[in-house]
Amino acid sequence: MAELSKDEYSQRVKFQKHKQRAFLLQVKELTGQTHRSLAHIVGVSVRTFTDWKREKFLISYSALSRLCKTAKLPLPKTIELRDKFWYTPKGSSAGGIAVYKKYGRVGGDPEYRKKKWREWWERKGKFNPPSSITVPIPIKTPRRSESLAEFVGIMLGDGGISQYQIKITLHHKDDYEFGKYVMMLIKKLFDLQASILHDPKDSVNDYVVSRKELVGFCTKKLGLVIGNKIKQQIDIPSWIKGSRKYEIACVRGLVDTDGSVFTHRYQVGGKWYQYKKLCFSSRSHPLLRSVHRVLQNLGLHPRLTEGLDVRLDRIEDMQLYFRTIGSHNPKHLRTYLKR
C-alpha cells in the first residue's frame, strides 16, 4: 500500500467480516503482549482496543500500521480505507427519516418551542438563580505535598483526564486493595468520593470523579494533561522535579500503577537460583528518563531500555528501593516479600 498523507493516516480500516478480530488476536499471539500493552502501544484505551476486537468499531489506519510493525507483519491486502466519520451521513440520514415519519417534520415546530419557552421564562425561569448544573462546584484545593505528588504519579501511570472527569483504571482483583488506597487518597486531598465503575470485559475497575473544577486543578496547577498521555509524551511536572521527597512520592505512584515486581529464576550448574526484580514501563520517553534519573540520584543502578522500560536488577537495589521509596500497592509488597 502506498504511503499515505497525514489526513489519510487518520482514516479507518474496513476488514472483511471477522477478519479484524482475527488480525488483533494474531498480533497478540505473535507479540505475547496483553490487550492493555497493545492498547498502550497504539495510544488508545483498553476499552477502545476491546471494541476493535469485538468489531464494534473500525480500527484506525495509524493503529493498524503500529500493530503490524510491532508484530512484524505486512499490511493486510484485503482492506478498505474509510474516512474517519464515514458513518455520519448514513446515520444522520436514517435518523432524519425516522423523525420525519413519526412527526411529519424534522426538528419539530420552532415557533411552538419558542412560545413554550417564553411562557416558562415569564412564569418561572427569570426568577430562579443559575442552576447548579451550570455553576461549577468548588473543590478542596490541597497544597503541594508528598501525597499530592504521589497522586500525580498515579495519574501519570494508570490515570486519564477528559474535559469533565478524572479516571484511574486498575485491575479489579489484583489491584482491588490498592484501589481502596486510591479512593482514600482522593478523599484526603480533595474531599471528594470517587465512584467505582466495573468493566467485566476488561477485568478492570475505573475509579472516577466527575468534577470540572478538579480537572481544572489537575491541568492548571498539577501539570497533568487532558487526552492521550503517550501522544503528548508526558513527563513528571516541573514542581515535583528537584524536590527529593516529591520525586520519591511521584515515582512510588508511577511504579504502583505502571510498574511490576517479579521473580527472576535461573539455573547454574544444575542448581536453581531466584531473586526479585522491578520494572517500570511507559511509552513516554521523557517519563522513562525522569524515573531513571530519580532512581540514579537515590543511589540505585537502574537499567534504561529507551522506549520500553526502566529496570532494577540488583538484589541490593531492590532492598534500597523498598526502604527508600516503598509501595502502597499490597500486590507489589506481597510479591517482593514472598520467598
Rounded distance between C-alpha atoms, residue 202 and residue 171, angstroms? 8
Q: State which amino acid sits at residue 195.
A: S
Q: Would you say residue 134 lies in a domain?
A: no
Q: By residue range, what is the domain housing residue 243? A: 146-337
Same domain, 317 and 245: yes
**What pLDDT sits at residue 90?**
55
Q: Which CA distances in Å does 86 have to 43, 50, 140?
A: 22, 21, 44
Same domain, 215 and 292: yes
DSSP 177-210: HHHHHHHHHHHHHH--PPEEEEETTTTEEEEEEE
Q: Would you say residue 124 lies in a domain?
A: no
Sign of CA dihedral 34, 40, 46, 50: negative
**What pLDDT sits at residue 123?**
76
232: domain CATH number is 3.10.28.10
Q: Would you say residue 35 lies in a domain?
A: yes
Same domain, 78 and 201: no
Rounded distance between C-alpha atoms, residue 318 and residue 321, angstroms? 5
CB atoms within 10 A of CB 163: 8
Cβ within 8 Å of residue 12, ≥6 positions away: 57, 58, 59, 60, 61, 81, 82, 83, 84, 86
Sheet holding 12-14, edge to edge: 59-60, 12-14, 80-82
Q: Would you say residue 121 lies in a domain?
A: no
**What is the number of structural domains in the chain?**
2
**What pLDDT sits at residue 1?**
40
35, 66, 82 — which closes off a domain? Answer: 82
236-263: pLDDT as tens digits: 999 999 999 999 999 999 999 999 999 8
Rounded distance between C-alpha atoms, residue 20 and residue 63, angstroms? 12
Show the low-confidence residues of the chain (pLDDT under 50).
Answer: 1-9
Same domain, 166 and 264: yes
Angle between helix 46-53 and 35-42 (nearest 10): 110
Taking a C-beta distance cutoff of 8 angstroms, is the pair 167, 160 a contact? yes
Question: Half-sphere exposure (CA, 13 Å, Cβ side) for 211?
Answer: 19
52, 82, 112 — which closes off a domain? Answer: 82
32: domain CATH number is 1.10.260.40
Q: Would you say residue 218 lies in a domain?
A: yes
Same domain, 64 and 205: no
**What pLDDT sits at residue 177?**
96
Same domain, 195 and 329: yes
Q: Which helix (H) or strand (E) is 89 found in, with range?
A: helix 88-103
44, 66, 82 — which closes off a domain? Answer: 82
CB atoms within 10 A of CB 14: 15
Q: Would you say residue 135 lies in a domain?
A: no
Rounded distance between C-alpha atoms, residue 118 and residue 101, angstroms? 29
Taking a C-beta distance cutoff of 8 angstroms, is the pair 141, 217 a contact? yes
Same domain, 156 and 286: yes
Q: Would you say residue 105 lies in a domain?
A: no
19-44: pLDDT as tens digits: 888 888 888 888 888 888 888 888 88
**What pLDDT sits at residue 114?**
81
Same domain, 152 and 240: yes
Residue 107 Cα to chain centre, angstroms: 38
Same domain, 78 and 224: no
Q: Would you say residue 100 lies in a domain?
A: no
